[in-house]
Amino acid sequence: MADGRFAKPRLGERYPDVAYLLGAYLLGDDDLEMEIGELVATDGAERAELVLAELRALLLDQTVDDEELTTFVRTASPWLIQTGRITLQHVADQLAEILGRTAAG
DSSP secondary structure string, 2-44? --GGGSPPPHHHH-HHHHHHHHHT--SSS-HHHHHHHHHHHH-
Question: Percent of the chain scored above 70 by pLDDT?
Answer: 90
What's the first-to-final CA gap in the chain, in angstroms?
56
What average pLDDT does the structure give for the chain?
88
**pLDDT band (50, 70, 90) for residue 105:** low
- Look at residue 64 and give its three-state secondary structure: coil
| 44-to-24, 27, 47, 51, 72 alpha-carbon distances in Å | 14, 19, 6, 11, 25
In the predicted structure, residue 8 carries a pLDDT above the cut 70? no
pLDDT 10s digits, 21-65: 998 988 878 888 898 899 999 999 999 999 999 999 999 999 999
In the predicted structure, residue 7 carries a pLDDT above the cut 90? no
Cβ-contact 34, 85 below 8 angstroms:
no
Side-chain-side CA neighbours of 85 within 13 Å: the count stands at: 9
